[in-house]
């Protein structure tokens, strides 16, 4: 079994017009997508090798089920998920 390790994966956020709050929101969203928070939570306490194997096996099963569901949707065996309407964008605050 081969493990993927990402070395030097740098998240970069540009601060525009000294708007640090907006840059922090963007950074949090990027960290969420990369799985940084999940990894930090997982590493908070020691995980026994048997627990790790169990977790990885359940994650693999979940991924396989998701892939099979997507494939069945593409082949027309299952209905496609309903598309959600995006939330209306808010106007930026005026100063």
Q: Is residue 6 situated within a structural domain?
A: no
- The confidence score (pLDDT) of residue 83 equals 84
Q: Is the pLDDT of residue 45 over 90?
A: yes
37 within domain boundaries: yes
Query: In which band, very low, low, confident or very high, does the pLDDT at 91 lie, cut at 50, 70 and 90?
Result: confident
**Could you give the CA distance from residue 10 to residue 8 in angstroms, rounded to a whole number?**
6
Confidence (pTM): 0.57
**Cα 27 from Cα 35, distance rounded (Å):** 12
Quote the CA–CA distance of 54 and 60 in Å, as a whole number: 10
CB distance 55 to 47 below 8 Å: yes
In a domain, 78, yes or no: no
Overall domain count for the chain:
1
Interval 15-33: pLDDT, tens:
999 999 999 999 999 999 9
């Amino acid at each position: 079994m081969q493990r993927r390790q990402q070395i030097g994966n740098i998240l970069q956020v540009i601060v525009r017009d000294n708007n640090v709050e907006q840059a922090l929101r963007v950074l949090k969203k990027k960290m969420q997508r990369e799985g940084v928070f999940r990894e930090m939570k997982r590493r908070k306490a020691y995980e026994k090798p048997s627990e790790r194997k169990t977790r990885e096996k359940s994650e693999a099963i979940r991924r396989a089920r998701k892939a099979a569901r997507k494939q069945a949707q593409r082949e027309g065996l299952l209905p496609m998920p309903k598309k959600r309407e995006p939330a209306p964008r808010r106007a930026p605050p005026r100063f």
